[in-house]
Amino acid sequence: MIKEFRFNFANINPLKNKAPACKIELNGTQIFAGNVESTIVLQAESKQSNTLRIHFENKTGADTIVDEENNIIQDLSFELKNLVIDNVDVKHLIWRSKYIADRSVIDSCLFFGPRGFWEFSFDLPILKWFLKTNNTINKNDPDWEKDYNYYKEAWDKLSKIQTR
Amino acid sequence: MGQIKQDTDKITKIAWTLMLASAQNKLDVPGEYLWNIPTSADFDEIRGKSWGVYSSGNCIKDKQMIDYTNTVNLNKYLRDPWIVKKYEEYFPIWLNECPRFNFSGLDDFKYSCFSQGSQEYFLNFYMQHREKRFRVLKGEYWWHMEVWKNLGLQWAYIEDDDIKPNDVVIISFPFARIGDEHPQQKNVIDQCEKLGVPVMLDFIYLPNTTYDKLQIDLTPTCIESLSFSMSKTFPVANARVAIRMTRKKMHDPMQISNDENVSNRLASGLGFECMQNFKIDYMVSKYLEEQKHWCALLGLTPTKVVHFAFGDAYTQNGRSYKKRFFSDFNDQQNRYNLGPLFANKNLLHSLGYHDKI
């Protein structure tokens, strides 16, 4: 099934002659490669269980510029601000991700500083996964499945009706 | 007779469907349709507002009436210095024409005054009696209590204290929460009559009562004023078309504006047009069978107001997420507004919700 992915990035920090670039993969298949922009929207074939990766590939040691006291004064970097899958903002669950750099794995990291990749796993339907996962973590929404089913049934039925 | 089993699952499905249809512009009559209008079709938005489908007292959005009001040329009334007077004089005639109502003593309420919605009269009533203690039965229109609280006026529920000489009483008839005469109404009026406590009867839901013959006794002299409005009857609520009838001529801001002939002519004109073209019980004649149908289908109990039914609280049974009323004084969660179901008959029929399966 084809789903839409909307990535919103912030604090995109280029150097004088170099912009941060990324490669995005879904389940090991490349779906984007290019410079990081504030919004990137993609359509991609998805499965029931999925792994999304954003690789920060063009970062080198020379892209972090420090002063005499070793303070960073310029750095090729960017941040993932939010992620919308199939029109559902995954909101706080975006933090259930990790950043894998050359020598470390950083949990809940949306900052693309070191060379490496960000990884996020989710299931479809995304809304159902979101509600279930949220309740598993926070235990604050016991009615999620019942209400999800009401919403889905209403949505499915109305999808056959024309807008007035 | 066995107790009716409520089909809460179907009630809930319809609520989700109508709220989502509102967001997707798929209702039978587009526009400002349901209280608690969703701003998007997102799950959270629909979930938080779905129960609002049943929660208002709003009128039935009857397409035929909306189509008619769309044709009314209001500008001519803006230039008509007599329209407010015509509206005021015609209202009691229109009211008396209805064979469902049998008033005793209505002729004693000689003074009619246009009111910009019932709320304008309520505010004038509050000002007139600002030194007294306001009294209502539990389940009364929440707006009173909300305003009294915020203005710092004295008030108490009738159930919480005896009626005393310095009190004034407001009763909606049919009563707001139950859609029928409050069982304590007669007793309360008898007490007020003995004590000389002024009473205002709020008849906002009267046009939609389904009684074949309703006896309305207005002879107790404690009943000083009557409040009528078209807001819960016809889809003109935002035009604020209402009227007050009193035994004595009042001298409050509303009456002064009326005497000065600066009352709202657009609202009066629209109200006059509605009265000229529709009977006061138009909605009852048209929707009584629909009320019976939906109540049988959903396991709700019809009230004596055609667009209301009574059932288990819709704020329970999975409707607890983000549950809130506009006011904490609103405890009408057992009263279901069936108007959105009536008005969306075609949509609900096409989705398989209108008919028994």
Query: What is the pLDDT confidence band of residue B35, given thresholds at 50, 70 and 90?
Result: low
CA distance B239 to chain A (A): 25
Q: Which residues of A touch B21 (CB under 8 A)?
A: 154, 158, 161
- Counted across chains A and B, CB pairs separated by less than 8 A come out at 57
Which tokens sit at B25?
A: 């512009």
Q: Could you tell me which chain A residue has the CA closest to the CA of B43?
A: A151
Q: What is the pLDDT of residues A31-83, one digit of tens each?
A: 999 999 999 999 999 999 999 999 998 999 898 988 999 899 999 999 999 99
Q: What is the pLDDT of residues B52-105, one digit of tens each?
A: 888 888 999 999 999 999 999 999 999 999 999 999 999 999 999 999 999 999
**ipTM associated with this complex:** 0.89
pLDDT of amino acid B178: 93
- A154/B16 touch (CB, cutoff 8 Å), yes or no: yes
Determine the average pLDDT of the residues in B116-131: 97
User: Three-state SS string across chain A, please?
Assistant: CEEEEEEEEEEEECECCECCEEEEEECCEEEEEEECCCEEEEEEECCCEEEEEEEECCCCHHHEEECCCCCEEEECEEEEEEEEECCEECHHHHHCEEEEECCCEEECCCEECCCEEEEEEEECCHHHHHHHHHHHHHCCCCCHHHHHHHHHHHHHHHCCCCCC
Residue pair B49/B18 in contact by the 8 Å Cβ criterion: no
Local structure of residue B20 (DSSP, 8 states):
H
pLDDT of amino acid B165: 97
Query: What is the pLDDT confidence band of residue B357, given thresholds at 50, 70 and 90?
Result: low
In angstroms, rounded to a whole number, what is the distance separating the alpha carbons of residues B294 and B289?
A: 9
pLDDT at residue B29 greater than cutoff 90: no
pLDDT at residue B210 greater than cutoff 50: yes
pLDDT of amino acid A44: 97
Residue pair B116/B267 in contact by the 8 Å Cβ criterion: yes
pLDDT of amino acid A50: 98
Helices B282-298 and B8-23 meet at what angle, rounded to 10?
120
- B26/A147 touch (CB, cutoff 8 Å), yes or no: no
CA distance B279 to chain A (A): 30
CA geometry: angle at B228 spanning B227 and B233, to 5°? 150
Q: Could you tell me which chain B residue has the CA closest to the CA of A128?
A: B43
Compare CB distances from A158 to B12, B26, B30 and report the shortest one's residue.
B26
Alpha helix (H) residue ranges in chain B: 8-23, 43-49, 63-69, 75-78, 83-96, 118-128, 142-151, 185-195, 253-259, 265-277, 282-298, 339-343, 345-350
Query: What is the pLDDT confidence band of residue B313, given thresholds at 50, 70 and 90?
Result: confident
- A151/B12 touch (CB, cutoff 8 Å), yes or no: no
> Nearest to residue B175, comparing CAs of B217, B146, B142?
B142
Q: Could you tell me which chain A residue has the CA closest to the CA of B18?
A: A154
Q: What is the pTM of this model?
A: 0.90
Rg (CA), chain A: 19
In angstroms, rounded to a whole number, what is the distance separating the alpha carbons of residues B204 and B229?
A: 5
pLDDT of amino acid A161: 87
Instruction: Please indicate if any CB of chain A lies within 8 Å of the CB of B39.
Output: no
CA distance B27 to chain A (A): 7
Ramachandran angles phi, psi of B227, nearest 5°: -120, 125
Mean pLDDT across chain B = 93
Percentage of chain B modeled with pLDDT above 70: 94
- A158/B350 touch (CB, cutoff 8 Å), yes or no: no
pLDDT at residue B317 greater than cutoff 80: no
pLDDT at residue B31 greater than cutoff 90: no
pLDDT of amino acid A163: 74
Local structure of residue B72 (DSSP, 8 states):
-
- Cα B296 to Cα B6, B347, B356: the distances in Å are 9, 19, 9
Instruction: Please indicate if any CB of chain B lies within 8 Å of the CB of A90.
Output: no
In angstroms, rounded to a whole number, what is the distance separating the alpha carbons of residues B282 and B207?
A: 8
Weakest-pLDDT range from A58-67, A126-135, B24-33, B294-303: B24-33
Higher pLDDT, B355 or B134: B134
pLDDT of amino acid B328: 82
- A161/B26 touch (CB, cutoff 8 Å), yes or no: yes
In angstroms, rounded to a whole number, what is the distance separating the alpha carbons of residues B19 and B41?
A: 8
- A153/B27 touch (CB, cutoff 8 Å), yes or no: no
> Nearest to residue B44, comparing CAs of A136, A163, A95, A147?
A147
CA distance A52 to chain B (A): 23
Compare CB distances from A143 to B26, B43, B318 and report the shortest one's residue.
B318
pLDDT of amino acid B320: 52
Query: What is the pLDDT confidence band of residue A162, given thresholds at 50, 70 and 90?
Result: confident
Compare CB distances from B13 to A143, A150, A162 and report the shortest one's residue.
A150
- A164/B26 touch (CB, cutoff 8 Å), yes or no: yes
Alpha helix (H) residue ranges in B134-263: 142-151, 185-195, 253-259
- Cα B103 to Cα A158, B108, B214: the distances in Å are 47, 11, 8
Instruction: Please indicate if any CB of chain B lies within 8 Å of the CB of A88.
Output: yes
Q: Could you tell me which chain B residue has the CA closest to the CA of A162?
A: B26
Number of other CB atoms surrounding residue A156 within 10 Å:
9
pLDDT of amino acid A122: 98
Instruction: Please indicate if any CB of chain A lies within 8 Å of the CB of B21.
Output: yes
Compare CB distances from A151 to B25, B30, B46 and report the shortest one's residue.
B46
In angstroms, rounded to a whole number, what is the distance separating the alpha carbons of residues B53 and B336?
A: 9
Determine the average pLDDT of the residues in B170-190: 96
- Cα A35 to Cα A25, A40, A64, A109, A117: the distances in Å are 15, 10, 18, 20, 15
Query: What is the pLDDT confidence band of residue A84, given thresholds at 50, 70 and 90?
Result: very high
pLDDT at residue B2 greater than cutoff 80: no
pLDDT of amino acid B318: 46
pLDDT of amino acid B115: 98
pLDDT of amino acid B333: 83
Percentage of chain A modeled with pLDDT above 90: 87
- Enumerate the CATH 3.40.640.10 domain ranges in chain B, comma separated: 81-277
Q: Is B23 helix (H, G, I), strand (E, B) or coil?
A: helix
Segment of B57-61, B134-138, B353-357 carrying the highest mean pLDDT: B134-138
> Nearest to residue A94, comparing CAs of A125, A137, A59, A58?
A137
Q: What is the pLDDT of residues B229-245, one digit of tens each?
A: 999 999 999 999 999 99
Q: Which residues of A touch B321 (CB under 8 A)?
A: 141, 143, 147
Compare CB distances from A150 to B16, B26, B347 and report the shortest one's residue.
B16
Domain B81-277 fold: Aspartate Aminotransferase; domain 2 (3.40.640)
Instruction: Please indicate if any CB of chain A lies within 8 Å of the CB of B68.
Output: no
